[in-house]
Every structure is written in C-alpha cells, then in structure tokens.
Chains A and B, each alone.
Chain A
Amino acid sequence: MNYTPIIGLEVHVQLLTKTKIFCGCPNKFNPEHPNTQTCPVCLGMPGSLPVMNEEAFRLSLITALALNCEIAPFTKWDRKQYYYPDLPKGYQISQYDLPFSHSGWLEATTAEGDLRKVRIRRAHLEEDAGKNIHDESGRGGDSQVDLNRAGTPLLEIVTEPDIRSAVESKSFLEELYLLLTFIGVSDCNMQEGSLRCDANVNLKFDDGIATPIVEVKNLNTFRGVEAAVDFEIQRQLDEFQKTGRKLGDPGVEKETRGWDAQRNITLAQRGKEEAADYRYFPDPDLLPVTVSAHVVAEIKSHLCEPPSQRKRRFQKEMALSEYDADVIVNRGREFADYFELVASTCDDAKQAANWVTQDVLREMNDRRLNVEEFPIGAEVLGTVLKRVSEKTITIKSAREVFVALLEDADEDREVTVSRVDHLIDDRGLKVVSDTGALDAAIAAAVAESPKAVEDFNAGKQQAVGAIIGKVMKQVRGADPKQVREQIIAHLSGN
C-alpha cells in the first residue's frame, strides 16, 4: 500500500550570548573545565532568583522574525517539572501556553527538488540542562554531571508535521542552520551541541490508517537526521506489516527512540514512564514580558537578507548559475559579502563568481583560512578583475597577479589596490596595443627561428608555438591569440 511519511522537527539552538539566560555565568562551551561556570542561580540553590538576559530575548525575537513568525504581545515562562541529574532545580524554565512566537515558515527542498514552505508552529525560549557523562566501562560506576551548560539560553523551534521525506528533513535543517548563522544568533556548532534536532515520524497510508508516532532523539548531524528518518520510515513499515499496530489503538502511545549514530539504527528508550506528566505552571520567579509593535518593526527593519533570498537574487540580478549561487551563499554571510564586493568592484559578476568559487576557495582551503583572514581583500581582487574586463591585462596575467599578491602577503607586504597596478607595470603585463612594438618583436622572433619557419612552410602549423613563446617573452602583456594570428599572417607573407 502507498504511504506518506509525516515528519515534524524540533530543533534546539543555543544562543550566542555572553552569559547564561538567568544569571551572569559565562555561556561558553568548556568541557575541559567542568563545573567552573556555575552560581547559586544555575545550581538551583534555594533563595536564588533568575533574571532574564535581555540579549537572549532579543536574539530570540530576531530568530523568530527571520523565521517569519508572529510575535506574541505578551509572553511568560513556566516550570516544566521532571527529575534528572542534569536539572538541578527539578524543573526546567520553559514556555508552555504563551510562547513568545508562533506561526512562521521556512522553505526546504523536497525529494523532488521543489521548494516547500514548512510551517513553524512555535519558537520558545528556555534554559538548557547540564550534561551527564555515563560510565562506559559497563561496571555500573557513577554518572558524572557537568553543570557548565545548565542555564544556557536555548531556543526551541517546532515545525508542523509538514515534511515528507528524509531528504527534506535534512534540507530543512540545513536551511535553518544557514539562516541562523547568517543572522548571527548562534554558532550552530553541532559537535558542541549548539544545534540539536529531534524528529517526530510516522507513516500515513492511503486508506487513512497511520502508524504510531515516534520521536527520534539525538540527531546531531545533517546526515544523522537524514539517516535516522530513513531508518525510522523503513522500521515503522516493517513493524506495521508484522503487528498491524496503528495510531489510535488502545495502549498505543507516542514512543521515544534514540538515534545510535555508530550502528545507524534507532533504539527504544527505556524508563521515561509518565514522562509527559510535566505539571507545567507559571514560574512565579520570572516576570512576564510584553513586546510592542514598535519593537517588532524596529527589529524587522534591521534583519539581513535571508540566505535563500540572496541565492535567488544572485541568480536573477547577477546572472549566476544556481550552482555558483549555492556554493557562495552556503559558505556563509561573510563569504557572500566578499563575493558581492568583488563583483561590484569589477562589474562582472560571472567573472567574480568564477574567481571566488575556484581560486579564492582553493587558496582558503589550502591555507585553512576563513574569508575574513584571506590576504587578498575583496576590493583588491575586484580591481584585478576590473583590469581584465577593461582589457588592460589578460586572464592569464590576472592569475599571475593573484599569485604575486599571495606572495606579497606571505612576505608580509601589504596587499592593497594600488599594489595591483604596480605589479601589472613591474611585470609588463599590460596588454600591448602598440602594434609597432609587437610587429618588431614578431619580426625578430621569426628571424631567430629558421627551423620553425621551415617547418611551418612545410605545413606544420604547430611550429608557430616556438615563435609565439619567443614573442611572449619579449612582450609579456600581449594577447597570445592575437600574437599567433599575426605570426601566421607574417609567415604567410601577408
């Protein structure tokens, strides 16, 4: 029977603040020094009181607006009660019935290659828990708890179940990652857990019957999300064929499974009995927050162009290929800015795209630099390319200048716009339009190459190569194609 996977994602994003959400402890990934970033507030000591970090709330608003969400005029925080060693207070401060934002969307690419607006149900601001480290020896030793992370500002972004494939799940997460890094609200470092994802997955058959919903936890890589959703689709199909258990059957509850990235399977998670009984109630320690339309408008007016829109503009207005636009924008906002400045300086977007996606990226990778550290600034590279589009130098000479500029940087010389023209002059790279000088050089080279002339006259066209080489040595900025034509004309007696 035909089925459709129904997938919704819950994504947790750590926000890039200096301090934790409710106290002044540093918000810094620091597993080398466990339990050095704690205080009575984030340790949950009696009598301590949380106070909301203004920057955490501001970054949350920016994110929600970038996700096209509505901002609630009034929002509050609630206590979500559960006992776990990484949660010192015995409750997490989260948002229950009045999240600060809701009803947004973000576009993802479907398995068929189309764009789909995946609706965002809500985004709310909460605190992260600490980290448990389990004894892996199998001897049942104590678990270790590091509370450095406890109280890190965490944005939970919940989609509607609009996603229809594993590929689309991955695409959504990639788009979200790109957007969050563009707007600068999170470093989204997945190794460090700054961006974490859970997926709710089930299958709907054409006759309306659906499999029980499974929440897959612990999806911390793009590939992991795709692989886990794929695995879960197949597993649910197999299980349904075996057992016939379906959504709505008595005793069927939402199941939680964990993704095991080593074995590439999902495993049932044990022992979260009655986990859903969180007994939320409003946190009396925190005051509600109101957000005016004025504040929303102010933040909206400062939002940067989202990456998806920027890709589209690069294709539409700057005539880049989809591939080039993807490569440039997916490298991040700074790289896209670099490209745009190169393009506007040389006024040739296609040429700029070729250079930044090939020469610049190659050098960045070889040198392990990010674009802000790259020694040839956008205006300098733009000037080199401008000299090409003005026909002052050839593409080949531009490569020589590019390499020379890198050498300059390696030898600690300043790489400036004026240095470009100096290099062109010093190395005689200017295209020679003075036909007299070129004619003389050709005549001299021909005179020096009797063997080549003989071969040419015997019908060997390629013999011209040796003469071209000699001419190019004399007149470095000459256009090789033009030189070739003139030599042939000369030898043919025209």
Chain B
Amino acid sequence: MELTRENVAKIARLSRLSLSDEELDRFTEQLGEILDYVQLLNEVDTSGVEPMAHAGDLTNVFREDEPHPSLPRDQAFANAPKSDGKYFLVPPILETGE
C-alpha cells in the first residue's frame, strides 16, 4: 500500500498538527520510505503463528492497591504551558452546538 499525501494530512489532523504544503510533501515521502522498509516484514511467512499481544513473556504483573504520595501541585504544573495555580489552562473547548 502506498502512503498518500491525503493519508498524511489525515494523520496530522488526528494528531492536531498543522502542516504546511511543503511539510506534507516532505513527510509523505519520508513516512513512505519508512513504511516501504517495514514492508520487508511481509516477506516472512506468518501462517500458523499466533498474533502476539506483547513482546515480553510475563503475564499478570499487578500492583497492590496502596496509595502513594501524589505530586505537589506546582510540580504537576511545572511543564504545563499555562495554569492558574489550580487548573491546567487550555484554549476554549467547544463541546456542543445547535
């Protein structure tokens, strides 16, 4: 399957990235090359091989339901672009329309 410019535009939109025309061209080519490379895997015969859920052999790794201290608020906000000291602030979200 060939990666199209439209595919890349869609992935960008889903990731909330706005790309320039030049970037779209460039990424279509670069991502296409990566996908072509990965296509090599298709040469392996996987008939009769169970789909793998995880690369590790372990299962059933659990944590006890015991509380640990949470971060102080100022540390939680340390990497946030914007906060008011109590909340993270983000550009307005519109949820419903008429």
Contact = CB atoms under 8 A, between A and B. Distances in A.
Interface in A81-108: 81-85, 90, 98
A144 interface: yes
Contacts of A141: 92
Interface string A41-74: 0010100000111111100000000000000001
Nearest to A131: B87
Nearest to A26: B67
Contacts, number: 146
Nearest to B61: A287
B interface SS class: loop
Interface string B1-17: 00000000010011110
B26 to A, nearest CB: 22
Contacts of A284: 54-55
B60 to A, nearest CB: 5
B65 to A, nearest CB: 4
Contacts of B13: 273-274
B96 interface: yes
B96 A144 contact: no
Contacts of A260: 96
Interface string A200-240: 00000000000000000000000000000000000000000
Nearest to B15: A83
Contacts of B55: 284
A128 to B, nearest CB: 16
A82 B54 CA distance: 22
A76 B97 contact: no
Nearest to A28: B67
A267 B90 contact: no
B66 interface: yes
Contacts of A34: 86-87
Nearest to A148: B70
Interface stretch (A16-24, A169-177, A348-356, A401-409): A16-24
Interface string B49-66: 000011110111111111
A26 B87 CA distance: 18
B6 to A, nearest CB: 12
Contacts of B79: 45
11 contacts: A18-B67, A38-B71, A52-B63, A76-B53, A134-B92, A144-B87, A144-B88, A144-B89, A147-B76, A270-B96, A288-B59
